[in-house]
Structure 1
Amino acid sequence: MSGSGSTHPTLVVAADGKIIEANDAFTLLSGYRAEAVTGRLFHEVVLCADGAPGIASMETLSGVELRKASGARLSLLAVVSPMLGQNLAPYRYIVKLIECREIPEVAQTLAATESRLEVSERELQTFVSSVSHDLRSPVVSIKGFTGELRGLTENFMRQIGKAPDLSPESEALFTQYREEMLEAIGFVESSAKRVERLVNLLVVFSKLEGIPLNDQRVDMAGLFRSVLTSMRHRIGQKDCQISMEAVFPSLMIDPTVTERIFSNILDNAVKYLDPSRPGAITIKAGENDREVIFSIRDNGIGIAEYNRHKVFMFFRRATDLDIPGDGVGMPLARALLKRYRGRIWFESLEGTGTTFHVAFPKTLVV
């Protein structure tokens, strides 16, 4: 990190509070060489203004003082980002330090960025809504005309079949033509249905921000059981064992939205199980100091490194296998989570399995 050219002084701190890395910007600001602070406790170098006993107790944004090598003290704002391990506990922290005189400028930049993002999202939603509306008419026409074409083909072949003195060779040829024509029509119908399904999904996506939320107390253990019950047939077909570990909290949240999020994740977990071994899916609940986190781990085929960027992209598939799917489940789950300022991420090892983590703010726990 020290050579990364980060614009802000940055420290990497281990879970035990010891500094393990410092970048060049920190060296320039503090007067310490990186090796002079490496191995020291964070609070020996940076004092927390609210008296937090350690970095694990600090807020995401905390006022701090830096003890410079010259002995002077400098008031700063610390942006603390915990990095979570598989057990959902922070294994290190990234701490960016911002000088107080820069805070108005940083706030202004953030506000401008958020404003541009809001405008872009509105434009995207308007575009998606317009495109989906424009696509519906031709899709309906294609479905209607292919239906008529199927009927005409059947009638035409039936009339030919009634022709007198039809040789066995001609009858076999017409039978072949009939099968090929109906197969081609079937492909068109199937494609039209898929386009129609994708258009409907686009409509859902374009209206996500406007969907009213019906927040109520939701027992998350009960919600998971309900989702799994609706999937029991496919779970049975995959010879899959499901286990739910730990105590699950209750959240003040929209049950329909939450069920949609976890249905998409569990659907993928079942869909991408490895057929060469019995399936196993484990659902866990945990927390850190700011969030409650649900984890769904499977022993499926995993996601190849070169496909991982596709996971949250609409209409992209993070697999090279011919497995049915539209490529909307994960991006839709992430879009729904944004309504609650939640987040989703995953870890995967090809050939071993995948774990998806879903985090909600602790403020939703009831």
Structure 2
Amino acid sequence: MERGYERRGMKYKEKTMEQLIRELKDFQSKFQKQCEFFDTVIESFPYPFYIINVRDYSIVIANSAVFDGTDLEGLSCYELTHKNGKPCDDKKYICPIKRIIKTKKPIIVEHQHYDKDGNRRYYEVHGYPIFDENYNVTQMIEYALDITDRKEAEKAIKEYTRELEDANHLKDIFMDIMQHDLLNPIGIAMGYIHIMLDDERDPDKNAYLECIKENLSKAEDMINNANKLSKLECSESIELEELDLKEIIREVVNNFKPIADEAEMKIENNITHNIPVEANAIIEEAFSNLISNAIKYAPEGERIVIEGEEKDDFWRIKIIDFGDGVSDENKKRIFDRFKRKAKIGVKGTGLGLAIAKRIIELHKGRIWIEDNTKNGAVFIVEIPKFHQNMSRRDFTFL
């Protein structure tokens, strides 16, 4: 009877041992697979990845992005990444381990590290604490992103910004010189020319004086327009208020009526309804330049037509002339500074359309040129509405 119990006990013990061995082997197999998976994961990172002991800064684990196959046993993070014999202690480059021990929180810092090829590069270092059962930091997970290209781009941008500031400063000095030191002698010369014209009776001398007067006037306009455009180009925004473009354009047309009458030219303003916009009073300058341009290039005895059209979110204004038109090549650059179509007898600085374009842009609008099907050109301006949900209104068109 006792022998039966002993045999059954031995059989039970043997079966239990077999189960333990099998379970142990299963555990070893799973552990091995987990280790292999972990190795695969950290090796899949294209950037340096480490686990570091915070006590002595020794590297426990690192992927192949960190080193070129050399033995890491006993090697510290500062020896590997900084080629230094002691931990980094720089106010500019904070040691992430020291900070994590103190705060027990993740950290992101910028450092200069040597890569595995020995090149010094900028890195964005991400550090994460690993705690023991007493919530003490024992190790740190670290990965480092190469930001060298970004840092070099930032440096280039800073340098370019500094150069722009210097250039703007020189431009301001130059504009001050033009505005004050050049306009004053031009004004004095213009005064003497007017006196001489009043006293001179010789037609030939009068012609010479008129030529001098015209060129002085042109120089004066160029300086004023250059100064105006310079200020506009430096402006990123302008103060806006509710204005009526109909009234602004009507005022511009009235101002140009004497010039148009002298050229036997008619300006047909077909805008009859209010055009409420959020604008600055300087927008009058844009339409003055556009109408002035149309008068200059339209044949004598012709007409200029101004039309308005309402769209969903903006107003569209057209200034139509019946001159020779503008070639496709010139359309691309007609709003550039000092670019204008040559025409005998036409004075101008080549800045008027550039000024108009900048003013319209400051109002979040658009300006472009199209062909007039009846010969000539059509300058088109679009300005956002003041009220988005206002009712549609009809305009009078040709």
| TM-score in terms of structure 1 length | 0.50
Structure number with larger C-alpha Rg? 2
